[in-house]
Structure 1
């Protein structure tokens, strides 16, 4: 089945004002049979958004209306396309209890969900690693090297896969090479093959899915999907389902990256 499992909405502060219906119409034009709206879930209680614009996620007070809006488009397009109500949930080291509590509250409303790492903890502080090249450059200086940023990212990602977040923990792991978003400006020689294979092994062991994310190819400083071909091939070898995600934050980004993704499973 042709599915886009990673779509954002007008509830995203750094996204678009495009109506949900426009996303659905574009999905139909592209031949999708199923889509998941996966807005950035509200950040856990007590966590302060470190992004300079404090725009990483939707507001807690908008959550109920978000689900109501998706229910509306589900009814409007019933029989034409399968529409899932979902969230992209941040794994944040040190906030596992708060994340579990949120999922226990929201889980019954979810048809689909993604667990992603955007925030890295370093010396009791957090940074949003994909916010901008400048913020990423600041992280390199803080850590002392680019390699250490990558190491901390993959360490945190492995923690996310292994974490116990309760019965509603997302079963799809988001854009596992997001740390490469600015690789054209900050090139790194290591492939981090061992770290990525360890993460894939953990995903396989838990029976999770992998977000096969086309957004990286559209980013001018990345120009490859998340994950790249060799890692996607390793996921296929392990029998890990690869679920295409456009990671669209506006309608025109629907379908992005599909032309270069060798392991789409449809």
Structure 2
């Protein structure tokens, strides 16, 4: 039986752990996984300034060929034990579509699989990494005017990412579409945004894309549910959208996280 983790980070992640590829893979094998996609954070697009304190949201551009070469070696090392795919988690950053397309055109031929995610939002000449910390999210609430306004802008941006023309190598899976709920226990929205989420899912279905069913939110103390939660997954599947479990592991210990509470 196929058992997949389609969203895994690596030692190339500048904000992750130093765990080796082998540690991730051996942990996955011990849990009877049959397929893994490594999806390291791609370098942010040329000309975009990372707003996180350490500027460490994506891997260094110079590391990209080393990353792909490392995964190619691992495919051979573990052939017959587990299937390993080369992937990236690519940020959709509104206004930088051309730069993102240029990057994908350069490296897309080396991708087996990939994810398109929204982490950064733009408002009143300010960029924020919305999932960085509760303090950053609170600052966003103050600037946007309400929690609901942040949520609305996030979902609008996710929809734009689905509709964006990023060329022939645009990622085929949309990442953690409810990431905005990471701090929902301390910064709750006043409504579920069902209409906005259904609009996103219909766009995913129309374009034949997949959905990242992400376990990281289950273990986040201020979230407590998968990205997206079960009701959204049920609606996605009613539209025949393929959902792919992703641990979003940033360490070997993170492999399989959240899975026991998800509908797989």
- Same fold? TM cut 0.5: yes
Match of 2:123 in 1: 122
Q: Following TM superposition, by how much is the alpha carbon of 1:81 offset from its aligned partner in structure 2, in angstroms?
A: 0.6
Pair 1:135-2:136 in alignment: yes
Once residues 14 and 143 of structure 2 are traced to their aligned partners in structure 1, the CA distance between those partners, rounded to angstroms, is 27
Any idea what SS the aligned residue of 1:4 has?
Answer: strand
Match of 1:171 in 2: 172
Match of 1:209 in 2: 210
Once residues 125 and 81 of structure 2 are traced to their aligned partners in structure 1, the CA distance between those partners, rounded to angstroms, is 48
Q: Is the 8 A contact 2:8 2:246 kept in 1?
A: yes
Pair 1:222-2:229 in alignment: no
Q: Return 5+ residue gaps in structure 1 as ranges.
A: none
Moved more, 172-181 or 182-191: 182-191
Match of 1:50 in 2: 51
Any idea what SS the aligned residue of 1:223 has?
Answer: coil
Once residues 52 and 248 of structure 2 are traced to their aligned partners in structure 1, the CA distance between those partners, rounded to angstroms, is 19
Q: Following TM superposition, by how much is the alpha carbon of 1:97 offset from its aligned partner in structure 2, in angstroms?
A: 0.3
Q: Is the 8 A contact 2:141 2:150 kept in 1?
A: yes
Number of residues paired by the alignment? Answer: 263
Pair 1:191-2:171 in alignment: no
Any idea what SS the aligned residue of 1:159 has?
Answer: helix
Match of 1:69 in 2: 70
Kindly report structure 1 stretches of 4+ aligned residues shifted beyond 3 Å. Answer: none
Match of 2:156 in 1: 155
Q: Return 5+ residue gaps in structure 2 as ranges.
A: none
Match of 2:249 in 1: 248
Q: Following TM superposition, by how much is the alpha carbon of 1:121 offset from its aligned partner in structure 2, in angstroms?
A: 1.0
Q: Following TM superposition, by how much is the alpha carbon of 1:55 offset from its aligned partner in structure 2, in angstroms?
A: 1.1
Q: Following TM superposition, by how much is the alpha carbon of 1:236 offset from its aligned partner in structure 2, in angstroms?
A: 0.7
Any idea what SS the aligned residue of 1:154 has?
Answer: helix
Any idea what SS the aligned residue of 1:83 has?
Answer: strand
Q: Is the 8 A contact 2:148 2:190 kept in 1?
A: no
Once residues 91 and 244 of structure 1 are traced to their aligned partners in structure 2, the CA distance between those partners, rounded to angstroms, is 21
With normalisation by structure 2, the TM-score equals 0.99
Once residues 6 and 230 of structure 2 are traced to their aligned partners in structure 1, the CA distance between those partners, rounded to angstroms, is 19
